[in-house]
Structure 1
């Protein structure tokens, strides 16, 4: 009896034609969502492994994709460097995939299915991977790992943003600051909300009531940090500000120094990320351990690609940031 799983068997199981199965795997944007899901479920159930795909590189070179919703973020450049350092001792190349603002992984890769032929594995950075997206990658035999986001259906390496926000605020309180403002980007972002909720929790524990005037939001860059700080001071007079990322903290420092505020005596500044810029600015911040996360992500993908581990892991590794004390807090 031939137990080999073929396109024809997948088609019978999913109740579609073999050509539909082929389109769902190679050109998913041409197939209705419900039909795609039926095909992916059949692939998963029957343990189908597609034939190896020939990539543009050499036969000995595997290509790791790094899919990022916004490549303009200052954080991304350092992430690329850390991943490249981890790959330097391997035969793998890195391919940066610009998702152009789209955070829904399933939708992006459905619309841009040609990437399937370019990558052997993929790191998804700070984006939303639902079960349909996981099924798609499994169906085309592409190992996937998430960084800086969470999924119950795939391996993820994330940050405990709540504890990070809590510990950052708690440190400011321990240094004698009491009127602590908050500056962030899109308040609907789950990472931002984790840090904000941690900030509020630390204030509440200290008996400090949060007021709406204590928080401002703008774009996640230096200019956004400058503008948000300017608006924050129109309705609140903080003695410290917790910035939810280092780039915005750099903008805040620029504002305070331009307007002759004495940092850290008149106002303390706390960031979040510990990018290279933070060290140059003497910024007290929260270290996210990006190099360590990159190492874990690459180690998992290399095990999958080498065949040392065929098990699909959906475990979550959540790392708590650590305070890095520098000159912007007393």
Structure 2
């Protein structure tokens, strides 16, 4: 196949790296760097941005990097080239997570174009939803999106199971809030009003006081001992939305990267239909609670993300580090 008119592999590489910086990450830590060599991109984990208290094994860091990897793949495809990906290519370099190369020219399909259009529009939600329904047909499409990346997205339909997840989230948040090391780590990534930082969660990115959902899913206390947060959230947005758990059959570094790719594919797909996601990782940061969820609610699969999907009209700005800070 001939090269797409006006598109070079180098252009596709640049588009992929630019898009990747918009991927979601825990506390918006953006724990990645990129190295570009010709038509090849190396994705590396930035261990200095790992949550040392909450994420001592680096699982959340790699899930975040997996989201960046999927974003690179879909952006490169939109730029007219098939991405060729090697996962964990060098055992002697554990920080090197993937190498992405611009392969054969390939015209993007409609689905790719739809996903790419949402990369910069997608936002994480940190409160309740409006109560407008998420169509079952869309939920099933999101399940298929996760499966396409080697993960399983399971909507939690039973009210009793939803109540259990809500209670576990409250318990984990309560324990973490009493732990000074956990609290200081969260506040490290919370940004005060007017901050010029380009990482972490800005004060406009979470409500000053979130309305309680029923059942209640506890939120992170980014404003710990401060009066930070947005006052523009809809106080009537109390619906929890569709609760879902993203799981993988294994719990290796490869599985964490696969979970991140599945997560981003699901988020972009949902965003195209006006659906946002709220995340609850507190439970998964406590080994015994995560194991309980795995055994009792996930049929033995490993939970990588607990989320709520719903409709919100609470628009937020996003902050991302400039590309110069990400290129190694």
TM range (shorter): under 0.3
TM-score normalised according to structure 2 size: 0.25
TM-score normalised according to structure 1 size: 0.25
Q: Which of the pair is proportionally richer in helix? A: 1
Structure with the bigger RCO (C-alpha within 8 Å, sep 6+) is 2
Q: Which has the larger radius of gyration?
A: 1
